[in-house]
Every structure is written in structure tokens, then in C-alpha cells.
Amino acid sequence: MPTLPRSTSVCNGRAWTWALFVLGSLFLLSLAPAPPVAAQEAAKEAAPAVKEEAPAPAPAVASAAAPASSGETAAPKNKSLLRWALEASGPIGVFLLCLSVYFTAVVIRLFMEMRVTEAVPPALVDKMEVAIREKKFQELYDACKDNDSFLARLVRTGVANLPNGRPEAKEAMNQVSDEIVIGMEAKISYLAIIGQLGPMIGLVGTIWGMIMSFQEIATAAGSQPKPEKVAEGISTALFITLEGVALAVPAIFFFSLFRNRIAVITMEATRVADRTIASLVQAAKQAKSG
């Protein structure tokens, strides 16, 4: 009985996933906006001109006007929404960002691997039909042996077990089909895990942001708490919650999508494999009778 070659698709899939993860991380880091250096340089150049034009005030007036001038120059800096989100999210947001890049890499890899044309290659189907028509059964097995698709694994398993009878061959094909389906479901299980972890991580960020806000209120020591500090904690809570939900929704969607695709691929590969084995048995009978 011929032996079956081991599959290397798992290693190749992991390599593709990590490559896409690294590229996505570099792309997202490149999106971080640079600080407004030009505005700061323009303010520095304009400051000396104002000082030269203004007359020298009296000492009392100068001391009184100093706080006002310092308050006018200390204008709040405008931040982009992306920079504000990164600063408010903190380490939890960075973790969610890395998780989203990994999620994107997994989805791209699954789209490349889980296709009907990959599981049931049309070229392999044509080659098997020609081999059966010409009664070249060894060529049929060799064609399936050199291929690692879903259909090839089923057909070569059935051909290898045909000497024991067609029911035994069918049982062996069903076992191989179950093993392949379990492996495919293990790949998409990462999407389900991400879909479950997203809201939980967002809830952790919500609690952490509210703790920061209430800590600012509690430690004010009778004075008025700083509104910007309270708003910072609320921003952290809202941004992390949004990021967790935004990651979980597409993860659950793609998990359902690929689970349905696995069912379609399994049905198509089993149908073509059963048809091929039946045609092979019929051609073998005709060859013996002829």
C-alpha cells in the first residue's frame, strides 16, 4: 500500500500570516501623524517681532501683563483623531491594534486558501477524467499523489483502499474528509477567539478609563478637579470600548462566512471524489471484461 506524503500547508499558512502581520504593523505605524513643527517654528519667529514693536512698559505693568501674555501663547495644540485615539487608548489600544493586524492577516490567508478551486482543482479533475477514459489507473494515482488538495487526498485514499472493497474505501475517504475539515475549522477558530476577546478587552478599557476619571475627582482634595484630566479618562474608556467592538464584529462575521465556505468545499470535494471512484470501478470492470 503506498504511503501518503505529509502536508506542508500549515507551515506555509503560518509564514504567510506572520508576513502579513509585520507588513500591516509597519503600515499602521507609518500613519502616525508628525507633530506640528511648522506651526511651532512660525510662533517662535513671530514672538521677537512683537517684542521689538511694543514699547517698554513700566515694571508694575510688565509684571501684571506677564501672566496674560503667557496665557495667550500657551494655546492648546490641535491633534488629529488618529493621534488622539492612540494617546487615549494607551497600552490596551496598542494591543488591540496588533490584534487587528493579526486578524487582517488571518482573513487574507483564509481567503487565499479556502476556495473551491483550491480544494477541487479543475486541472486535476480533467487529468483524472482522461486517465479513467484511457484506463491509465496508475497515472490517476500519481496525479493525486503529486497534489495536496482536498480532492486529491480523498481520491488517493479511496484508490489505495479499493482492493479491500468499495465500502472500506468509502469509509477511509470519510475519515480523511473529517480530518481535513477539523484542520480547516481549527484555522478559523482564531476568528471566533478574537470575536470573543474583543468586547472583553474593551470592557477592561472601559473600567480602566472610569477609574482614571474618578481618581482625578477623588484626589482633588476639595478643589475643583481638572476637566481635561476627567475627560482624558472618559476618552480612554470610550475609545477602547469602540476599538474592542469594532474588532469583534468583523471577526464574528468572517468566522460565519468561512464556516459556510468549509461546508461548501467539503460537499463539492466529496461529490467529485465519489464520482471519480465510481467511474474508476466501472472502468476497471470494463477492462477486465474486455
pLDDT, one tens digit for every residue, the chain (290 residues): 344 444 444 445 554 555 555 555 544 444 444 444 334 444 445 444 444 444 444 444 444 444 444 444 444 567 676 777 777 778 888 888 899 999 999 999 999 999 999 999 999 999 999 988 888 888 888 888 888 899 999 999 999 898 888 889 999 999 999 999 999 999 999 999 999 999 999 888 888 888 888 888 888 766 788 888 888 888 888 888 888 999 999 999 999 999 999 999 999 999 999 999 998 888 888 877 76
How far apart CA 75 and CA 73 sit, in angstroms, is 6
How far apart CA 156 and CA 161 sit, in angstroms, is 9
Tell me the HSE value of 82 on the side-chain side, using a 13 A CA sphere.
Answer: 9
How far apart CA 92 and CA 202 sit, in angstroms, is 9
**Cβ of 60: how many Cβ atoms within 10 Å?**
8
* CB-count burial class (<10 Å; 0-12, 13-18, 19+) for 57: exposed
What are the Cα distances from residue 182, in Å, to 176, 177, 178, 252, 269? 10, 9, 6, 19, 15
